[in-house]
Amino acid sequence: MGLNFSLLIVAALILAVFLGVEALGLSFLFGVIIPYLALATFIIGFILKVVKWAKAPVPFRITTTSGQQKSLPWIKDNKIDNPATTSWTMVRMALEVLFFRSLFKNTKAEMVDGKKLTYQWEKWLWLAGLVFHWSFLIVVVRHLRLFLEPVPAFVTLIGKVDGFFMVDLQNFYITGVLLLAAVTFLFIRRVLIPQVRYISLAADYFPLFVLMGIATTGILMKYFYRVDVVSIKELTVGLFSFNPVIPEGVSVLFYIHLFLVCTLISYLPFSKLMHMGGIFLSPTRNMPNNSRAERHINPWNYPVKVHTYAEYEDEFRDKMRAAGLPLDRDGAEDEAAATKE
């Protein structure tokens, strides 16, 4: 259900651009207006989401701990897996963001012969996830060669390393193909594993199809249906210099590619893809585990009206004394002090 629905939506989006550009000539809409709107939606939506999250109080230290806590000096603590300071928390966060460390520890439970429960280290999801994210990052950075004139040196360098292998006369970018392969793996995994398929919704399939569409159109333009790169660069440089132009001879394949990218970024703040910002705001990962060393006060605590024992004794001192109950302060000094004056 979710799968067919998502596929249908992505197909409809592609068809909409195709008809819009080819039949109605709406290249200014798809080439300039929608990209600007999508980028604005992405940035503003992202900020509003983060602000909304930041307004939610986190009353307790709910750090995930998978190592020895810092306690007595002669007990060796695990600084990364149970960080007690902000700097070690940042180290753990960096490893999480850059290498998906918690996913690396992923295990799979399986019944062997129908009666023996075994746990296996499940690394393929981690590997495909890592390949996908890093490839995507490099692909995005590489695209700066089409956004900026002159091209910054680091973009040229990354393009050269990524395009180390040559096919025919041109660079063959490894990350482009790895990106598509990894997304395809993640999709196949979702469909083939029954338990994963059971919990998959349209919101899980849709981003995968959009990413597949982006990667496929990109690869098609680069290696199969040649497009006029110079006029495409004129269009993109125009967008980034706020002098938008629609040059002649831009292929419809480019508009499809661009529109799917716009779909992805404008959808991002409202979807699970928001883990891009959310990872940094995970309370189980971004707090140092120092609740034994420092007192943390629940931020939504309101002033509670209390009646301390001292106040209670002041109130009932005479009665308590008459009943022969022990008193912390018997009040005699107070009376003596009062008579002295």
Partner 1 sequence: MMYNSRNIIIGLIIFVGIFTFPFVLGAGKANEAPKLSLDTPKINELIKKEPIETVEFMRNNHMQLLSDWKVAVVRDGNRVYVSQKDGQEYDMSLQNTCLDCHSNKEQFCDACHTYAEVEPNCWDCHVAPEVIR
Instruction: Summarize as ranges the residues that interact with partner 1 (CB under 8 A).
Output: 39, 42-43, 46-47, 50-51, 54-58, 144-149, 151-152, 155-156, 159, 166, 168-171, 226-231, 233-234, 237-238, 240-243, 245, 247, 249, 251, 277, 280, 299
Q: 155-193 in b/e burial notation, b at 16+ Cβ within 10 A?
A: beebbeebbeeeeeeeeebebbebbbebbbbbbeebeee
Q: Which is nearer to partner 1, 18 or 46 (CB)?
A: 46
Cβ proximity to partner 1: between 59 and 310 the closer is 59
* DSSP track, 95-144: HHHHH-HHHHT-EEEEEETTTEEEEEE--HHHHHHHHHHHHHHHHHHHTH
H/E segment holding residue 51? helix 34-54
CB 55, min distance to partner 1, A? 6
User: Between 71 and 86, whose beta carbon lies closer to partner 1?
Assistant: 86
Nearest approach, Cβ of residue 197 and partner 1 (Å):
34
The count of other CB atoms within 10 Å of the CB of residue 336 is 9
Which CB sits closer to partner 1, 149 or 314? 149
Complex with partner 1: residue 138 or 155, whichever CB lies closer = 155
Q: Which residues pair with 121 in a beta bridge?
A: 107
- Any residues with CB less than 8 A from the CB of 162 and at least 6 apart, and which? 138, 142, 171, 173, 174, 175
CB of 73 to partner 1, least distance (A): 30
Cβ closer to partner 1: 152 or 334?
152
Least Å distance between CB 43 and partner 1? 6
Q: Which of 80, 112, 77 is nearest to 93 (CA)?
A: 80
**Cβ neighbours of residue 186 under 8 Å, at least 6 residues apart?**
125, 128, 129, 132, 208
Residue 56 beta carbon to partner 1: minimum distance, rounded to whole angstroms: 8
State the minimum distance, in angstroms, from the CB of residue 104 to partner 1: 25
